[in-house]
Amino acid sequence: MQPATGPLRGIRVVEIAGLGPVPYACMLLAELGADVVRVDRPGGGTQPLPPDRDVLHRSRPSLAVDLKSPGGRDVVLRLAGTADVLVEGLRPGVTERLGIGPDACCARNPRLVYARMTGWGQDGPLAAQAGHDINYLGLTGALHAIGTAETPVPPLNIGADFGGGSMFLLVGVLAALLERATSGRGQVVDAAMVDGASSLVTMVHGLLAAGLWQDRRAANLLDGAAPFYGTYACADGRHVAVGAIEPQFFARFLDGLGVAEGFPGGQDDVARWPEQRARIAAAIATRTRDEWAEVFAGTDACVTPVLGLTEAPHHPHLAARGTFAAGDGHPQPGPAPRFSRTPAAVRGAPRAPGQDTRAVLREWGFAAGEVAALEDDGAVVQAG
């Protein structure tokens, strides 16, 4: 791994390997400078991707531990004893049964921030039930508000998994570390995707309470109903995104389309929105996506091309900012946000489960003889 340069240098994190939100959050912690070690199952368990393609596992080493063995349990407890943060995303009660729950770890290290990521939370009627992003979004009302008038459409898995999950886990970890600086004590962070996803639609709840939002899809300012906030098909079948909310931007948009003269109704004339949308759609359908991008380039009409995943890294703005990092011939999003003195950085390619077992244990204070004994006992495994 490359040396840490980010603002979290000196923070030690133990990651109990999981799926989705946990590895993403820990990848960000590592690229912000934390010393993160990923604790994998021997062999990696069920991996959705080949190890060298799972970019969420980049920037940190992997240690393979048999958590069901007494020796493996003791390894994790010893790591937790000198760590600042432990992150786990198993179902409620699993780490307790393994002997590495909050009580056991915090008894070793009262300053430990023990961060727990689940879908439904550590308690409540659904706590032990399985689920995925779409389920958490569905229960919060967020999914109900996204999609066409006919059906809800899941926004990939960024709403609950990564937005409501990873990001709120990170907020919790960083807040707990900040509080620890004055109290000297760690605490348990219960990051539930259902809580985070619900928080993300706080503004919509405010609009609903004020009578400015209808509790149905494709009927509101930001859900595709407004003709000045949505996507339109172009002559080549590709699309442009329009976000001309402010009146001056909307006026520039209509001028660029060439439809300002005789345009039906005003911008806030909701009853005429369907007619306005049809007029705009007909105009946009006369040119290709890239032709419209050229028409609106350098203007404040708030019109941009809808780029494919393979196109985005090559856009001049993203290329100039270095938004994407080179990753084995396949561009990957780089770290965010940016720092003036302590830049975050991708610190290495994804590591296979257990690829760094011996090196990690030595770095975290295990003697060579201890590492050999743990390997002989099967408590830890060095891959390759």
- List residues with catalytic annotation: 132, 161
Nearest residue to 60 via CA among 13, 129, 106: 13
In the numeric block, the tokens 């999950």 are attached to 165
Phi, psi of 103, deg, nearest 5 = -60, -45
CA–CA distances in Å: residue 56 to residues 50, 60, 110, 116: 12, 10, 29, 18
Give me the amino acid identity at 61: P
Q: What are phi and psi of 108, to 5 degrees?
A: -75, -30
Measured CA to CA, the distance from residue 58 to residue 349 in angstroms comes to 5
Write out the H or E segment, with its range, that includes residue 359: helix 357-363
Start-to-end CA distance of the chain, whole Å, equals: 17
Q: In the 8-state DSSP scheme, what is residue 380?
A: E
What whole-number distance in Å separates Cα of residue 37 and Cα of residue 104? Answer: 19
Alpha carbons 21 and 171: distance in angstroms, whole number: 13
Tell me if 284 sits within 8 A of 296, measured CB to CB. Answer: no
Residue 356 φ/ψ, nearest 5 degrees? -120, 20
DSSP 209-247: HTT---SSTTSSTTTT-STTEEEEE-TTS-EEEEE--SH
Q: Which two tokens stand for residue 383?
A: 């891959």
CA gap 364, 63 in Å, rounded: 11
Which SS3 state, helix, strand or coil, does residue 187 take?
A: coil
Q: Which residues pair with 332 in a beta bridge?
A: 325
Q: Which of 264, 245, 317, 258 is nearest to 287 (CA)?
A: 258
Per the DSSP assignment, residues forming a β-bridge with 325 are 332
Give Dmax over CA atoms of the chain in angstroms: 84
CA distances 21 to 25, 26, 159, 310, 319, Å, are: 6, 9, 11, 23, 27
Alpha carbons 15 and 331: distance in angstroms, whole number: 25
